[in-house]
Structure 1
């Protein structure tokens, strides 16, 4: 017999179980439906709300008992002889408690705070047993499914009719409500405990798996039930202990776990209890506990998906980083939260308390408890998340750079981690958070609660306008350098950073900013004293690699000199000086820079005082000892003249070398322009040269570079020999003189003066081939090469229209004795110039006289231009103008230039008489001559005559050979005539004389003589 069987009428009944049984049996006997209702209700609890909650329900009852007794709660779970025995300390079971155990809808715990809301929670034991018992020091009670079935069956013996309970028992297959009938026992709890629940396990229960499952629930129970301090599951011991810093330490057989907790409690306002059952309204106090687990270093452990604990786990899934345990109204099955005003009060207080939990953490750990954005896991999760995030955004819990705490909505965090930046901006940006909070790990949390993020663009805006020393800006640049290196977007935004300048100003942006380098200190100091608009030289103390990476340029002397603002200041310096500015304030630092960096073309615009006390451009001034003074026209120097000497006061302060570097003249100066698109305004007659070159070069114009010597038009006429020596003595001007097609040789050839004529009107003494056309230049003390560079002729050329007109005029001059060969060469050069479009015949007046191939000067009205060689047989040589053989020059171009007819245009030619037509291969000696010359006999025919005569408008003429308009070839039977006809037919006109010799004597020796 078990202890459960040793109960009955012979035992003391301190809990009045007999009366309780009688009342229940009476209700089953008196009501046809009451047995069914009780059985169904207990089945709902066993299979529904309290299924799988055995340890939870017994633990919360143990917690209530410990709190009621004011002692630390202890709970022991062990297996003894097939029974699960759960013992606890605290107020033991009394008669009221026993009555509550047998009541399915009533609880004895109304007037005291507790976590177990209903006596029916004891129904959880039915998950493992059909005969639960409870033992206390005063006695015990037992429940039994078997004895209940016997009591129901006994109802039939005392009634004339079969009671409804009996019929329902049969209908239910013997299933009965176990916890409605209770019997006394004489069992006692183990020593050290006040109450023990004893549960004989059904055969389908696995004791080992059950204990393992219970062990997994212990930590949660120790957190949820603070009155419960120790739990033993078999031989595994668990305990919890609180501390002064709201930490709960839970010790398990495997480890010690620490939880940070924040608890709150209060009473529900009466108005919030509407709709709540009587049992719940009896518990008018609410309570809650936030808990988060910490690691050994006090850091928050990664959160996991959890559920709401009320205090036992519900099925309300939560995604909050901290666990919430709260006394909220729940549905009867204790799985869902009741939707009531009372629930809203608890959730509101939970959100209000949440920031206090965060404030107990290290400032850098607090963001770990901010709910991350995401989809809520349940309606309850959504309500709590929204309330918590709203409260967090309004409450001061974030640690600012100055050590204070600030609410997220009033806080700012930098986009990039930089303790240096935070240190610099702490007194500039209100609510700026600690630098560590800029780390990516905090970004999502801070964004969720509305912390403003400050990027590079806003940072630049914030520091703009600040009055800080250059050293402070250097520290700022140093802190921003890692940002620029890693954030491509920030790089562009940082280009607007303020920069302190050497002149004391602070400007916005690094555009055109110069960073003073070594060797430029004196010039920088001098420039800093000037008000040069746009000249931005960084203060030396602020110079930093970041500025260079953002676009600033290191400024040695060369960089400073090339600064656009300084260039513009130099260009405006004359106007500024004439408006009252001291020209030397700008000139002196510029001249210092020139000493280090060398010259620049635009430095000629620098304003300097002249010897009359006026201000001029540097390139309009001469050094007092300048060699150029000896060759310039006196009218070119003076107050109203293009040039003047520099003031003596300037020479006292600046060396001649530096003055020359800025354009002050000592000799001729060269102007250079890259990629010109219009004529240079700084040289004389540039437009004429430009147009000529444009016509000559076509698509090759304009040039990639213009180089020209200036002031050539200011040279005195009688000083040109010395001027030419100056030009060739200086390497720079000498290069300009040698430039093919360049401006300088073009100008000197036309406008320089040597013994009253331009250089191109003379020839060098050794150019004897040009004798007759051009006179030798007199001895002017200049060497031949210099004369050649100046334009004195060494060969026959036609460079331009003026050249052509001059040559035509010279050929027509009867006073000139021009040899026939030179005459033809001249005509050939003229024709070539026309054909190449180097000259425009329309710009030259037709000559009245021309020079023929006989060197005679004849009236142009009588002359013709020979365009075919056979025509020479019908024209007098004195009337024929030619540039050589027809293949050597363009007869039509020459005829156009001289406005002469072509010989072939002069009337109809009639070939007189008849001859014999033969194929060339059949003509005597022709094959032999061709073979000796190594050429093929031409195809076609020739008509041979003993004497060849033609008639023109001028009469009859005997000719050696002829070609008619149809291309037919005629020849007299003579070596001279036949050789010319054959050479023409073979297109080998140059070999006509060789052919004549071979036709006269077709032997190899003829070629060798």
Structure 2
């Protein structure tokens, strides 16, 4: 049970307080007005909406004074709001404070026990009472008016009165209760709802308050270490991580795992809420100087000092969090919400810059001002760079998001370029670089880092050097073939540092074949002969190249220096000892100053022949291949002349080199050697290729060029060309090197030779061969071809070109002697032949004209012609023919003639020829003649 309550107001000097106030009002009539106005200002101004805040502060202060966690209970009873609390009971100083608008009973270390803030109760009542186990006090607007004899507005809290008779005791278990009869228009249920909404914030702000009960709904506050747990009536709880320092308390909500949930927009708490808006991630509860209303801070140095003290404590709150969550409490960029917010943010960021709260990758902690954040989310990279980048923040505080957050606080960011700068010049084991590459590759694949940012990334090489940039470096699965080799510019990655990232950045995955293509190795090969002749030991390079060629099966490294019988030579200038090629070369082509030499015998014995030939050493003729030749620069004999002979540049070049080094008497063996291998055989048989062209003009068979002979089987050329002497070569090879199979001249020189053979009176040239030879010459449009002095005439004789003409029409045979006519099968190419031989056309120089009279007859009117046309299935031409009893041209009788109009003697032969020419059936002229004589199908078929 509660102890018996003393006589109401016995120890609180209520009467004295009241008498003093009344005396002051009487002595100074304006004092009453001042007090009335002051109380009105508090009621409608600073302390509006702060009823429960102020009562909760009083309860927390009472608990603090008693040294025990406080409990607070809120109820509606009989139209009154009753707020009971545990802790230090009401005393005389408290009553005096309640009755003063300008004084407080606040003690050191308390929030404000029964001070000016009690005026907040006037928002709901004009008859408040405070009942404690030590006594109580009442205030009443009505009793004050009665005392003053006034009907107007009076101050309520200036005159204390004893509690009414029969005032109920303080509820069991509590020490004090404030009882507020609600004035008309105040909704009690709504008021309880507002109170309930303020409970969680007040429990956090008032550490001496452990429990709040609002109409049976109970909230509790418990503390475990730095975490405050606020449990709601429904059993749910909220957790706040707090740090209490000299400058106040910082608090941030956390989940059950300790992960912070930044508060976002909030207000300054002193420790109860003010109207000063803040945008910091954590809540500040600090003893900042405020106006009497406790809504606004007081401007001036004391406020800035208090905010500075609070900011000084802020890093300690961050240290309570695991490292990966600390950045959640770094203030983000944005506009301040108030002047206090601007000042506090500035102070907090400044403190975060200097205080050591960020975990350092190298150990310990550091401030933001000295911190550098890896902008790539890679703990492995952080670990690799911990001792390389000063001030590097430890993982997991890495990546773009942490970098952006800490940049607002002044931290530097280390990106890909920064990493490259930091590691340039480092000496680390190759395996260390491999770990570094792991982290960078992940960043590249996630598109956090662009490959061009890593262009200068150092790469350790197998020779112990570290070079800037992977481009051009080689990644070898087996670097053993390079043991002992020192080639300037050859960058082979150390196998312990080989990594896919280097390939992404331009390094080349290289097997033996790829290594042989390395520019640095190629350069070393190109200068190897000069190096060897100047005294440089090139044997390590030679052995390395040959080992690589042995593994790769390919080479094309003809510039490689190899020992010859007479010194160092290029590989492609050497012949294997005992090679078949040596048997066909001119002796003067092999030797010290000769184009070729023989590989040193002892050296040749050390390596397989296929390895030596792969680098260019000859055992047979070498082939030159170029899929896109641009000009004649392949070191082939007479290459430019061949190039000029072509109608257009070659689309591909495939040719045999060194043909000009063959001995004159060795060509049959040389051709057999060319045919023995597929690559040389293809070059030998390629139409229009350099090899065939050159052999036809320079190879020697039986003392003559191939084109001077015909194949033994080409008997249709007999008379103009003799069969090639016995060589033992098959005809297909003889044809490939230019031995004749037909009359077609290959060039102007060949055409001139054909003309000379035709004009050789010692040759018995069959008439048909002469006609075909002239036909071949008609197509010989070669520049520089000189016309012959003598020609082969139609009768087989050789005649002076000055008296010869080219037969260009069949009717001219009747007026020109055969020994002056040069003819070819048909007449279409007569003009071309005349141009080649520089002869006139017979038609152009014939002066004879038809001298006989003829009778015109339409072809359709000639029954015999119609019958022949029907048998042949030929269309009758338009027009007709002049039929002559006897057709004469000049004084010469002719069977037919054509001078734009066909003429025919009245004979079957004359009509047949004229009709055949006009009808375009000249080849059928003899058949038409026979049909005119015997117009019968049997004649046609026989």
In structure 2, how many angstroms separate the alpha carbons of the residues matched to 1:528 and 1:222? 77
8 Å Cα contact 2:323/2:397 also seen in 1: no
* Structure 2 counterpart of 1:185: 163
In structure 2, how many angstroms separate the alpha carbons of the residues matched to 1:405 and 1:221? 35
In structure 1, how many angstroms separate the alpha carbons of the residues matched to 2:880 and 2:158? 148
* Structure 2 counterpart of 1:544: 499
8 Å Cα contact 1:618/1:662 also seen in 2: yes
In structure 2, how many angstroms separate the alpha carbons of the residues matched to 1:554 and 1:459? 24
* Structure 2 counterpart of 1:881: 822
Q: Which runs of 5 or more structure 1 residues have no equivalent in the other structure?
A: 1-9, 156-165, 170-174, 266-286
Residue 527 of structure 2 corresponds to residue 565 of structure 1: no
Tell me which moved more, 92-101 or 759-768: 92-101
Q: After superposition, give the CA deviation of every residue in 1:233-274 in whole Å (9 maximum; x if it has no partner).
A: 33334443555x444344443244443222344xxxxxxxxx
The DSSP-based 3-state class of the residue aligned with 2:252 is strand
In structure 2, how many angstroms separate the alpha carbons of the residues matched to 1:263 and 1:986? 125
Residue 412 of structure 2 corresponds to residue 477 of structure 1: no
Q: CA deviation at 1:739?
A: 0.7
Q: After superposition, give the CA deviation of every residue in 1:896-946 in whole Å (9 maximum; x if it has no partner).
A: 211112223216553334422333222332222222111221123333222
8 Å Cα contact 1:457/1:490 also seen in 2: no
In structure 2, how many angstroms separate the alpha carbons of the residues matched to 1:528 and 1:674? 36
* Structure 2 counterpart of 1:902: 841
Q: CA deviation at 1:11?
A: 6.7
Q: CA deviation at 1:28?
A: 6.6
Structure 2 CA distance for partners of 1:117 and 1:818, relative to 1, 3 Å: farther
Tell me which moved more, 413-422 or 51-60: 413-422
1:711 to 658, 661, 669: 658
* Structure 2 counterpart of 1:133: 129
* Structure 1 counterpart of 2:3: none
Structure 2 CA distance for partners of 1:358 and 1:990, relative to 1, 3 Å: same
* Structure 2 counterpart of 1:44: 41
1:379-778 matches, cutoff 5 A: 379-439=339-399, 442-487=402-447, 489-517=449-477, 521=478, 524-600=479-555, 602-612=556-566, 614-693=567-646, 696=647, 698=648, 701-703=649-651, 705-778=652-725
1:271-310 matches, cutoff 5 A: 287-310=247-270
In structure 1, how many angstroms separate the alpha carbons of the residues matched to 2:752 and 2:114? 130
Structure 2 CA distance for partners of 1:972 and 1:228, relative to 1, 3 Å: same
In structure 2, how many angstroms separate the alpha carbons of the residues matched to 1:470 and 1:771? 80
* Structure 2 counterpart of 1:870: 811
Residue 855 of structure 2 corresponds to residue 916 of structure 1: yes
* Structure 2 counterpart of 1:282: none
Q: CA deviation at 1:582?
A: 2.6
Q: CA deviation at 1:224?
A: 1.9
* Structure 2 counterpart of 1:375: 335
The DSSP-based 3-state class of the residue aligned with 1:131 is coil
The DSSP-based 3-state class of the residue aligned with 2:803 is coil
In structure 1, how many angstroms separate the alpha carbons of the residues matched to 2:425 and 2:8? 95
Q: CA deviation at 1:552?
A: 3.0
Q: Which runs of 5 or more structure 2 residues have no equivalent in the other structure?
A: 1-6
Q: CA deviation at 1:35?
A: 5.7
Residue 892 of structure 2 corresponds to residue 957 of structure 1: yes
The DSSP-based 3-state class of the residue aligned with 1:747 is helix
The DSSP-based 3-state class of the residue aligned with 1:182 is coil
Structure 2 CA distance for partners of 1:943 and 1:25, relative to 1, 3 Å: farther
* Structure 2 counterpart of 1:850: 791
* Structure 1 counterpart of 2:52: 55
Structure 2 CA distance for partners of 1:882 and 1:14, relative to 1, 3 Å: same
Q: After superposition, give the CA deviation of every residue in 1:732-782 in whole Å (9 maximum; x if it has no partner).
A: 222211111111111111101111101111001111111111111111232
Q: After superposition, give the CA deviation of every residue in 1:207-235 in whole Å (9 maximum; x if it has no partner).
A: 33322332332232233223334433333
Tell me which moved more, 746-755 or 338-347: 338-347
* Structure 2 counterpart of 1:926: 865
The DSSP-based 3-state class of the residue aligned with 1:402 is coil
In structure 2, how many angstroms separate the alpha carbons of the residues matched to 1:999 and 1:176? 158
Structure 2 CA distance for partners of 1:489 and 1:358, relative to 1, 3 Å: closer
8 Å Cα contact 1:471/1:542 also seen in 2: yes
Structure 2 CA distance for partners of 1:870 and 1:47, relative to 1, 3 Å: farther
Structure 2 CA distance for partners of 1:408 and 1:904, relative to 1, 3 Å: farther
Structure 2 CA distance for partners of 1:19 and 1:584, relative to 1, 3 Å: closer
In structure 2, how many angstroms separate the alpha carbons of the residues matched to 1:74 and 1:11? 25
The DSSP-based 3-state class of the residue aligned with 2:130 is strand
In structure 2, how many angstroms separate the alpha carbons of the residues matched to 1:797 and 1:937? 39
Q: CA deviation at 1:291?
A: 1.0
Q: What number of residue pairs does the alignment pair up?
A: 932
8 Å Cα contact 1:139/1:184 also seen in 2: no
Structure 2 CA distance for partners of 1:782 and 1:341, relative to 1, 3 Å: same
* Structure 1 counterpart of 2:208: 227
* Structure 2 counterpart of 1:779: 726
8 Å Cα contact 2:624/2:634 also seen in 1: no
Q: Structure 1 length as normaliser, TM-score?
A: 0.87
Q: CA deviation at 1:643?
A: 1.4
Q: CA deviation at 1:792?
A: 0.8
8 Å Cα contact 1:594/1:658 also seen in 2: yes
The DSSP-based 3-state class of the residue aligned with 2:876 is coil
Q: CA deviation at 1:574?
A: 0.9
Structure 2 CA distance for partners of 1:59 and 1:822, relative to 1, 3 Å: same
Q: CA deviation at 1:672?
A: 1.7
Q: CA deviation at 1:458?
A: 2.4
Q: CA deviation at 1:690?
A: 0.9
2:104 to 105, 108, 112: 108
In structure 2, how many angstroms separate the alpha carbons of the residues matched to 1:575 and 1:526? 24
In structure 1, how many angstroms separate the alpha carbons of the residues matched to 2:371 and 2:777? 90
In structure 2, how many angstroms separate the alpha carbons of the residues matched to 1:341 and 1:980? 135
Cα RMSD (Å) of the superposition?
Answer: 2.7
In structure 1, how many angstroms separate the alpha carbons of the residues matched to 2:860 and 2:923? 21
Q: After superposition, give the CA deviation of every residue in 1:384-440 in whole Å (9 maximum; x if it has no partner).
A: 223212221222211112331012232223233333323322222222222211256
Q: CA deviation at 1:131?
A: 1.4
Residue 762 of structure 2 corresponds to residue 815 of structure 1: yes
8 Å Cα contact 1:321/1:371 also seen in 2: yes
* Structure 2 counterpart of 1:276: none
Structure 2 CA distance for partners of 1:461 and 1:872, relative to 1, 3 Å: farther
The DSSP-based 3-state class of the residue aligned with 1:197 is strand
Residue 933 of structure 2 corresponds to residue 1006 of structure 1: no
